[in-house]
Structure 1
Amino acid sequence: MPSPTSHYFDTDPTGPARTRTLRVNLAGRDVEIASADGVFSGDRLDPGTSVLLREVPHPPTSGTFLDIGCGWGPIACTLGMLSPEADVIAVDVNRRSRELTATNAATLGCTRVQALAPEEVPEETRFDLIWSNPPIRIGKPALHALLLTWLPRLSPSADAYLVVSKNLGADSLQTWLTATLPDAFTVRRAATAKGFRILHVHRDSETETACS
């Protein structure tokens, strides 16, 4: 079993990799993907991720998309399967997660999915869509810093969809996002299902403004 001091949000998990094959449904297809210990939801498709993939609108056919905290890649691969002409960037601090996402994207023919460490994403890159099951358990200060790193990089008129458990602070996170993001952003609850909220962040068609 994984080291008791190893977490899915560690940069380099210390536990053994112990790979496995999962059979899951992504983008309406039954597929086999690779997973391992030491990554988020390494033994199944996370219920929150499943809710997100079911509830969000179909992505645009093209653009630059972002998956924050990619794990073994279900969100990034779904985006790549649904929008094969889009460039999908999957970010995760966990090296093992990035390796699995890259492997699974290649297996599924998602040739425009890149799995990168956060610092590898060029600062000038802007995103036309963000889908994320953010790592709530890293703690509130770290989560807030993470979201303020990526959400302001939405392009004008672009959207982000975040899935958060009601029991892990979805409503308080919505309140914080509303109070913290600049006026060009609107935040609303897009859906509720199986104990999860889908939060929708929309950026108006305005010039970029900074977050503090």
Structure 2
Amino acid sequence: MTTPWGEPELSRFPEDPRDRLRAWDAADEYLLRHLAGRRPAPDGTVVVVGDRWGALVTALAAHRPTQITDSWLGQEATRANLARNGVEPGAVRLLTTQDAPPERIDVLLVRVPKSLALLEDQLLRLAPSVHADTVVVGTGMVKEIHTSTLKLFERILGPTRTSLAEKKARLIFCTPDPSLVRPPNPWPYRYTLPEDVGAVSGRTVVNHAGVFCADRLDIGTRFFLRHLPGARGGGRVVDLGCGNGVVGTAAALADPKAEVLFVDESFQAVASAQDTYRANDVSGHAEFRVGDGLAGVPAGSVDLVLNNPPFHSHQATTDATAWRMFTGARRTLRPGGELWVVGNRHLAHHVKLRRLFGNSEVVASDPKFVILRAVRR
């Protein structure tokens, strides 16, 4: 990536030589050019929110910034990119969206997330640390910045305007108003599940901001919950890509002897899964892990994997995440162990499962979704 401070070498995480997607885009470059041309140059405590693969904090490492991210993969990419470019350990402070932000912020740089709810939650959490002289600049591709995005900045921080577009990217400029009366933070959000979704019917779901379908039960998960496998008298179950944890909680309620592992790469998602599990007073053993799918889970240690894989990475459509999830499931399942997958019919997950497992069976289907079962032979 070419920046006013040099040309750092950057990669996504995990590295894949077949992946043609870059670890930065025009929005990152636009923000860095703006900061380099600003006089006086931004100084003080620099906080970067939503830096997707560490491009911004790697370029700004000399300013000893703090990065705040919801993505475990993004945080690992940042560590790797900082090391790759010779940045001394400790030069960049790495925080998650669940951590307390710095008490004072002099420069706030915001990479606009896909989720408006996550932006709302983060701005409300950061607002007490912002003062009248804080430099606030957001960035994103034109298709990511909407009127609702600007209204959030204005409602929570202060007067807001945008730049002209360059290479389909745009900047957001916000002038903090300390006298602004901010609304209370509505996150995390709770709701009661309907009565037709199996073991979790009428139960409570807790969603932190940014989790998929945080304000309602999505139709794919609803379909999955109605067809989950019944009690098996124990065993180790994984809710892979757990989101708010409703699937793993349903498995735990249906089979109290089961040990359930909730895994997601989103810190917000795992916090949601923990809160959902606890809100329903589930008996049994549960473990909650933020990480890259089933990496680190011992081979042949799992009896059942339940999975609703994503098919997007930020704005890019890709099946790379699903492939890693399915491959990880095959490695960690015991012989006879099963992977259950729900997905849109057009994604053709059965083709991938047959290549990996040698088998794939349709458990249930409707015009939009299909639930597949693959057995580790």
The normalised TM-score by structure 2 is: 0.47
In structure 2, the partner of 1:104 is 276
Amino acid at match of 1:132: N
Percentage identity across paired residues of the two chains: 20
Distance 1:109 1:194, change over 3 A: farther
Distance 1:196 1:4, change over 3 A: farther
- Say how many residue pairs are matched: 194
**Distance of 2:208 and 2:323 partners within structure 1:** 28
Partners of 2:344 and 2:370 within 8 A in 1: yes
Distance 1:148 1:28, change over 3 A: closer
Q: Please state how far the C-alpha of 1:122 moved relative to its aligned partner.
A: 3.6
Partners of 1:65 and 1:88 within 8 A in 2: yes
Q: Does 1:86 find its partner at 2:258?
A: yes
Partners of 1:36 and 1:43 within 8 A in 2: no
Moved over 4 A (4+): 3-6
SS in 1 for 2:238: strand
Q: Please state how far the C-alpha of 1:71 moved relative to its aligned partner.
A: 0.6
Aligned with 2:351 (options 175, 183, 204)? 175
**Greater percentage in strand:** 1
SS in 2 for 1:41: coil
Q: Which runs of 5+ in 2 are unaligned?
A: 1-48, 53-69, 73-95, 98-117, 123-186
Partners of 1:127 and 1:153 within 8 A in 2: yes
Q: Is the radius of gyration larger for structure 1 or structure 2?
A: 2
The normalised TM-score by structure 1 is: 0.81
**Distance of 1:186 and 1:78 partners within structure 2:** 26
In structure 2, the partner of 1:193 is 366
**Distance of 2:228 and 2:205 partners within structure 1:** 22
Deviations 1:30-68, CA, capped at 9 Å, x for gaps? 122211321112111121111111123313120000111
SS in 2 for 1:30: coil
SS in 1 for 2:359: strand
Tell which has more relative contact order, 1 or 2 (C-alpha 8 A, sep 6+).
Answer: 1
User: How big is the alpha-carbon RMSD for the aligned residues of Structure 1 and Structure 2?
Assistant: 2.5
Comparing 23-32 with 59-68, greater Cα deviation is found at: 23-32
Q: Does 1:151 find its partner at 2:151?
A: no
Q: Which runs of 5+ in 1 are unaligned?
A: 205-212
Amino acid at match of 2:278: A
Aligned with 1:10 (options 60, 68, 71)? 71
**Distance of 1:34 and 1:28 partners within structure 2:** 13
